[in-house]
Amino acid sequence: MKKGILLLFCLIFAFSMAGCSNDKQGASGSEKGGEVQLKMWAHQGQPKEVDFYKKRIDEFNKEHKGKINVKLDIIPSGTGHAYEDKINAAATSNGLPDVLDMDGPFVGNYAATGILSPIDDYVEKSDKQDFAKSIIQQGTYDGKLYALGAMESSIVVFYNKKLLKEAGIQAPETLDKAWTWDQFMEASKKLTKGDVRGLTMHMDLGVGEWLTYMGSVFVWSNDGLLLNKDRTKAEGYLNGPESVEALNYVKGLFKSKVVSVSNGPADFEEGKAAMMIGGVWLIPGFEDYKNLDWGMTYFPYSKKKVSPSGSWAFGVSSQSQHPKEAAEVVKWMSNKDSVVEISKITGMPPARESAFKEIKEYDKLPKKVIKDQVLNTAKARPATPAYPVLSAKFAEAFQAAALGQDVKPELDKAAKDTDRELQRFKK
């Protein structure tokens, strides 16, 4: 009995010591019989997207047998910041994988803090040119390329064909005829009847990246900016008159009750909302709703036609001991085959222009809307190391506007906090 307890202590000790040691072998790339072993993390997106990652990595391993072997871990991301939290924790404890998947706007922060290695040396120029401009924009920080993605993304206005027909509304079918803010407001008002709201903006997703992703478009479209051109100042931009006016428009939408802060997650699909400002990643999910006859139109504009851009992208961690092989994985995941395939599977727009040519459905409605936006009006969120603060504070201001608060003081607060954060990275 005594011996048993002693043994147990020894075991606990041994394990706790192992936990404390800096296990470099486990943290990042090692070699086994000449085959480079790599680790990769991807966030848990839509189920079909996850399946694609797994399948593509299997194919990579088959193709590079004896040279490179990648072990893929799918990390749950939740609605909050669980995936980012995991990266942060791993970065400080030397536990980052060789290849990691990250949301586009975070590239700036990770690059500035040295989590990522640049991949310019491994990517050919001609190959770079094939990517949509916004994808290169989001993967570049300080003139160096850090990340490449397979998917683009966009936000459009989905509409319920039946409800629009009943209200006698025709949604725009070409980019020239896209709704202005006023027309959009009018349509939403007309469509709000009884239990049905004109619009849902997915406020159920919480005060997270979504609100910034969608909300920043209103600011840009009104000729405003989140940060100045060199991305060193928020004061006067984030809280500038154009931004205030943009959020006041959003406030107006909520005030006139065409959209609610307490919408359910599937209001549009269930016919409780006639239109939805939603991400194109929702399209595959529509299949589950047989009664839904949906269409798609352009993001409404004020002074400029702008649409959101940016999606998850792959990069090489600076802790990797095999950056060259890791870059191979990044390139594989964003090569033309991957891009075409993921686009077909997930319904996300491809990240390469050449891929658009290959997928015919983007030539006609409804998907033409996405292509028009990605190739003509897409704008990436600012690549800045202060992005985590900027995004959270802007999202809070957007929510405040939706709740009917005074917009200006909320944006002033956001600008002040963002400027303080930018100060930290000034050298």
Applying CB under 8 A, which residues contact another protein?
9, 12, 16, 80-81, 84-85, 88, 91-92, 109-110, 113-115, 206-208, 260-264, 388-389, 392, 396, 399-400, 403, 405, 421, 424
Q: Closer CB to another protein, residue 91 or residue 163?
A: 91
Q: Closer CB to another protein, residue 257 or residue 304?
A: 257
Distance, in Å, from the CA atom of 198 to the CA atom of 164, rounded to the nearest integer, reads: 10
Q: Closer CB to another protein, residue 16 or residue 126?
A: 16
- Helix extents (H) in 64-114: 82-92, 107-112
Q: What is the CA radius of gyration of the chain?
A: 23
Token pair, residue 144, equals: 């160096």
What's the gap between Cα 53 and its chain centre?
16
Q: How far is the CB of 83 from another protein (least distance, A)?
A: 12
Q: Closer CB to another protein, residue 135 or residue 400?
A: 400
Q: How many other C-beta atoms are found inside a 10 Å radius of the C-beta of residue 124?
A: 8
Q: Closer CB to another protein, residue 41 or residue 110?
A: 110
User: 215-237 as b/e, with b when 16 or more CB fall inside 10 Å?
Assistant: bbbbbbbbbbbbbeeebeebeeb
Q: How far is the CB of 62 from another protein (least distance, A)?
A: 35
Q: How far is the CB of 374 from another protein (least distance, A)?
A: 29
Phi, psi angles (nearest 5°) of residue 305: -85, 115
Q: Closer CB to another protein, residue 339 or residue 401?
A: 401
Q: Identify the residue whose tokens are 């194919």.
A: 59
Q: Closer CB to another protein, residue 47 or residue 78?
A: 78
Q: How far is the CB of 418 from another protein (least distance, A)?
A: 11
What DSSP state is assigned to residue 69? E
Q: How far is the CB of 345 from another protein (least distance, A)?
A: 29
Q: How far is the CB of 362 from another protein (least distance, A)?
A: 36
Q: How far is the CB of 141 from another protein (least distance, A)?
A: 14
Q: Which of 155, 156, 151, 157 is nearest to 311 (CA)?
A: 151
292: left (phi over 0), alpha (psi -120 to 50) or beta: beta
What DSSP state is assigned to residue 97? -
Q: How far is the CB of 80 from another protein (least distance, A)?
A: 7
Q: Closer CB to another protein, residue 221 or residue 263?
A: 263
Q: Are 313 and 102 in contact (CB under 8 A)?
A: yes
DSSP string, 254-282: HHTTSS-TT--TTTTTTTSEEEEEEEGGG
Q: Which of 71, 63, 66, 72 is nearest to 35 (CA)?
A: 66
Q: How many other C-beta atoms are found inside a 10 Å radius of the C-beta of residue 182?
A: 11
Q: Closer CB to another protein, residue 364 or residue 424?
A: 424
Half-sphere exposure of 113 (CA within 13 A, CB side): 17
Q: How far is the CB of 364 from another protein (least distance, A)?
A: 36
28: left (phi over 0), alpha (psi -120 to 50) or beta: beta
Q: Closer CB to another protein, residue 88 or residue 232?
A: 88
Q: How many other C-beta atoms are found inside a 10 Å radius of the C-beta of residue 319?
A: 21
Q: How far is the CB of 67 from another protein (least distance, A)?
A: 32
Q: Closer CB to another protein, residue 336 or residue 413?
A: 413
Q: How far is the CB of 266 from another protein (least distance, A)?
A: 12
DSSP string, 290-323: TT--EEEEPPPBSSS--EE---EEEEEETT-S-H
